[in-house]
Structure 1
Amino acid sequence: MNIHFIAIGGSAMHNLAIALHLKGYQVSGSDDTIHDPSKSRLEKYGLLPSEFGWFKEKISSDLDVIILGMHAKKDNPELLEAQKLGLKIYSYPEFLYEQSIDKTRVVIGGSHGKTTITSMILHVLNYHEREVDYMVGAQLEGFETMVHLTKENDFIVLEGDEYLSSPIDRRPKFHLYKPNIALISGIAWDHINVFPTFENYVDQFRIFTDSLIHGGSMVYNEEDPVVKEIVESSENSIKKYSYGTPEYTIENGITYLDTSDGDMPLEIFGDHNLQNLAGAKWICQHMGIDEDDFYEAISSFKGASKRLEKIAENDKTVVFKDFAHSPSKVDATTKAVKKQYADRTVVACLELHTYSSLNADFLREYEGALDSADVAVVFYSPHAVKIKQLDEVTVDQIGDAFKRDDLIIYTNPSDFKAFLFRQDLQDKALLLMSSGNYGGLDFNELKRLV
């Protein structure tokens, strides 16, 4: 099969391109810019375009399939040429479904936790040498790519993103997978540029629940009232399995899970991660992993990349970076760190970086999100607001939104970096939450502070 990627440089797209190349397909692609790690990884497999840009002459009737990424626009010259020639055009979730139509599809959905839960499942399966196909939204230790496709594996595990599929397919990605087994971890309003109201956003999870094949299994977090209502009220003929936070204790900065064989130390911590673990256990049991084997494997799980990732530590200091940016994620992550390090001063630094977080109307959703921190800092770039063509957000608006009188706010990357580097981190836990990099912060430099 001869496959061409329009916008090959995206995180998911370049991983899919590599997976198909490794499967033996002829793969080509284009993009207007490609950054590392995508650039280096495509180059390693001989898939990096010789020059950046869009070239309609790359599109011909010799191509069997076009895979279209979200980064491309509707008027992309390669897309227009493919449409003119009548070529088959897939979004990447649509293509993943086609590749897995004869497999048992396991789809992990939710506003938060889906990458971690998917990572936990793959860690357990890999530990026990169970081969499965997969697609996950983070680079995992022990896995070369974020996408793996074969002809022979019976299962495929998919992280079910609720964002749109492509510029010409406005359906959420997880609506396209038609799972046999699924999970919803939690629901908190996100992607407001696409889903303008909370009700509209919630409806996407109703559609997802009803997309399970008849007789399929839905695992859901019963501690989230919205998830509980959606799943339990669904009239789809599916089996329903609920989970919640398992019993655990914390001693000397280590979380111990209460199991039938006694207390088991974990590398991860926080109520949200313990909930993720409980959900992952249900899914693994549906895939043939019994409870004892699950616990044996999960004890060595260190977390997905950028999800409460420990970047530096000594006896008196610990530094984490986390992908948290939505209000619910920020709240859960900050609470988790404070609970784990109750005897330390928690300095929580949040970058407002996404369309939602920089929206003046959405800001009020952050009320109380940083309350668990002893020192709370917010960084945002007015330049980023302009680039995203959003209304101006002021320092006063941010202060009013978080409802915290001692909130520290920075708008200049140099000033924020200076704040970090003058900190005495003795007896402190530093938490850096962002889907960006605080205007160019080198996280490796922070290791010098510890």
Structure 2
Amino acid sequence: MTSSLEHSPRAGARLSRRVSGIGSMRLAELMRLAAGIGAIDIALGIPPGEPPAEAVRAATGALTGGRNQYAPPEGLLALRETIAELARRHRGVTVDPATEVTITCGATEGVLNALLAVTDPGDEVVLFEPFYENYPGMIELAGAVARPVPLDGPGWRLDLEAVRAALTPRTRAVLLNTPHNPTGRAFDEDEVAGLLDLCARHDLVLITDEVYEGYVYDGRRHVSPLGRPGAAEHAIVVGSLSKSLQMSGWRLGYCLASPAFTAAVRRAHERTTVGAPGPLQVGAAAVDVAGLADDSAYFQRRRDHLVDRLGELGLTVARPEGGWFVLAAVDTLGRPSDLLAEELVRSAGVLVAPGTSFFTDPAGGRRWMRMTFVRDEGRTEEALDRLRNFLSGGHHDR
């Protein structure tokens, strides 16, 4: 039976300009294709493990014990205290869980709330290119305008002069992801401090998405604007438990900011999702974060192995300084990454992310392909073997 909704007249005329201007995510289309084929996914940074057992027990106890109604919009105090401890461990700062921490439905909502809190329609937001695929659409949903600034050179450095040149009287915020998806840069002291100082000089807000703050390599440490001069007036930090506690499906993120910024973020949060799921907050709050193992050394070994394997295949790869991804140059393979990614799904049974998803002009990303090193080790090895066979002219029989 055909639904009458399928033939609603002039439906497109009723869509908002902000939604009409946002295209579908290319990787989502490839994911649907890969699911139908049974391809091995080395595109998405899905945590390889499970949430801590005590989190699952506590969340289950909350569900069966009657704690199934609204939690406070700002988040359970016990979880905000957990987040404050994580901020101390990973960022070396002290935050007040009562007035400087807000629990959100994942870091995605956290970034959107921060944008809603500090920009008005028509304002401009500087973001760095290549960028996490969701950012331009999030900026547009907030009614603002994205102003991409390319990261500099083969090392993907943050060019403060390029940022300064991109500023206009309508600029209100700068959006930075560190450690960076997709390049793997962990921006250093000079870059972060310089960017915060630039924001202070021009009365802008620096929004930092730090979901990979616990994953930096080769002896580096995570650098956050929190705790630096000017941060209280010019910085909002967004984080997530998806990676640190390996619970991406729980959708628990957070915003860290001064009391004034926090009050504004909470007003936006209360009018988007109202609050994050209470039983899951109970579960996450039960984790003793002080006792969590530091598994960055394990992921560093996984990173090195993937970089070495891709190098053996003739791909050029900058060794990631942090995060969960590798961005490989594929221009030697003779076809753009968007076509290559589809070929890999169909012919090799391997899902990767085409670089076209991470650039305003897709042409800028056609020489890049993103892969993750955090998926199941055995399946990753099989995917790399399939990739090698494909590049050597072989075929994969599914």
TM over 0.5: no
Q: TM-score, normalised by structure 2?
A: 0.30
**Structure with more contact order per residue of length (Cα contacts < 8 Å, sep ≥ 6):** 2
Question: Which protein has the bigger helix share?
Answer: 2
Q: TM-score, normalised by structure 1?
A: 0.28
Question: Which protein has the bigger strand share?
Answer: 1
